[in-house]
Amino acid sequence: MSEERQTGSVAEVFWAFLKLGCLSYGGPVAHLGFFRKEFVQKREWIGDAAFADLVALCQFLPGPSSSQVGFALGYRRAGLVGAFAAWVAFTMPSAVLMIAFAFGMASLGDLTGAGWVAGLKLAAVAVVADAIWNMAPRLCPDRPRALIALGSTALLVVGDAVRWQLVAIAFGVCVGWLLYHRADNHLDLQERVVSRGRGWPWLAVFAALLVTLPWLANALPPDSTVAVVNGFYRAGSLVFGGGHVVLPLLEAFTVDPGWISGSEFLAGYGAAQAVPGPLFTFAAFLGTDIDAGPGGIPGGLLALVAVYLPSWLLVLGVLPYWDKLRSLSAARAALMGANAAVVGLLMAAFYNPIFFVAVTTPLRFAFALTAFALLRYGRAPAWVVVILCGVGGQVLL
């Protein structure tokens, strides 16, 4: 893939991610499956190896990993404006729904048990299974890398805490370096991840905000707008593994000081399970509903930007150096192992929570198997499978 073919329009990026933002259910691993289907297979914006490199990088950075991968893909395709177009498009559908829920959609009741939601979870099963089916032969073509993937899977199935994801990728990095640093692992420099700009100013801003926001918040009333920004920014800065892991941090600084009740917090979390896109948009519900800061729609948007700001700064800060690092022979060897570990991460997440939570009856297993067959052998587009699963789930489940 040449560098010229990687140049696209902002509008192209926006509409591609908007479709995924409306249809991507199942959490960050499922989102990566949708991304791979759309941008590696269908649009050919990026190759499998470079895509896996981005996934491995974003697993090491704090913040929502799937959103960070989407942000990086938009940046790679259409520069800085393209990165924010990808984020807005992918995040907007769920953010709008979460803000609307804060204004009164609780009258719909508990959506987590609805048939159409169960169908959408089964669509995520099919999408992730298809992603693993396609990625494994490319990223684990030999016995050592297959063993790395299986070892990572076993590690993550037994130790399901988020820190074990980092341990699994570090395991892949170390084993990959030991096995391949003397092998011929030449990188095709035409397949770049990104090669624009300097990263250190973004990293400096990230560090400056992390240090100064708490000081400013302590100098102002405890329910000030700065206090709200500080809470959401720190939550986005200090969490690894994505949406579910950020919940304790969000609860600590919103429920404990009395900004929102525990029941309202849990109601918003339940609604977040029923909307597409990233779970981090739960922040939009909290910013809208809490008794601090501006509240309402401005508060929801402010909270959403604050919780995502650290991940933007970190991705922009690290990406300009990523191609230089991955072009080194030793780094390439480490990435070969890391990419195999990413396959293991996908397989472990496919088992739990994706398959384990969604496939609870023989009927649901048959449902998921049919969706996989449509996607894999029927060549049906992912969005068609998602819609069919939603409708079928409402009728059958």
- Residue 287 φ/ψ region, left for φ over 0, alpha for ψ in the -120 to 50 degree band, beta for the rest: alpha
**Both tokens assigned to 59:** 């697993």
Q: State residue 189's pLDDT score.
A: 45
pLDDT value, residue 142: 92
Residues 155 and 174: their CA atoms lie apart, in Å, by: 15
| Contact call for residues 297 and 285 (beta carbons, < 8 A) | no
DSSP bridge partners of 63: 240
pLDDT at 196: 56
Q: Which residues share a beta bridge with 240?
A: 63
Check if the beta carbon of residue 109 is closer than 8 Å to that of residue 11.
no
What pLDDT score was predicted for residue 185? Answer: 54
| Global confidence as pTM | 0.73
Under 8 Å between Cβ of 233 and 307: yes
Q: Is 153:171 a contact under the CB 8 Å cutoff? A: no
- Cα angle: 172, vertex 238, 206; to 5 degrees: 100
Whole-number pLDDT of residue 197: 64
Cα–Cα distance for residue pair 397/337, rounded to 1 Å: 41
Cα Dmax for the chain: 62
pLDDT value for 187: 47
**Residues 198-207: contacts with CB within 8 Å, 24+ apart?**
198/320, 199/316, 199/317, 199/318, 199/319, 199/320, 199/321, 200/317, 201/317, 202/313, 202/314, 202/316, 202/317, 203/313, 203/314, 203/317, 203/318, 205/313, 206/237, 206/310, 206/313, 206/314, 206/317
| pLDDT score recorded for residue 351 | 85
* Tens of pLDDT, residue by residue, the chain (397 residues): 333 344 679 999 999 999 999 988 777 778 888 899 899 988 989 988 888 888 878 877 878 888 999 999 999 899 999 999 999 999 999 999 999 988 875 455 555 677 887 887 888 788 888 888 888 888 899 999 999 999 999 998 887 655 677 788 889 989 999 988 776 555 444 455 555 567 889 999 999 999 999 999 999 998 899 999 999 998 888 775 555 557 767 888 898 888 988 777 877 776 777 788 888 999 999 999 898 989 899 999 999 999 999 999 999 998 888 777 766 778 778 878 888 888 888 888 788 767 887 898 999 999 999 999 998 899 887 778 888 988 999 898 8
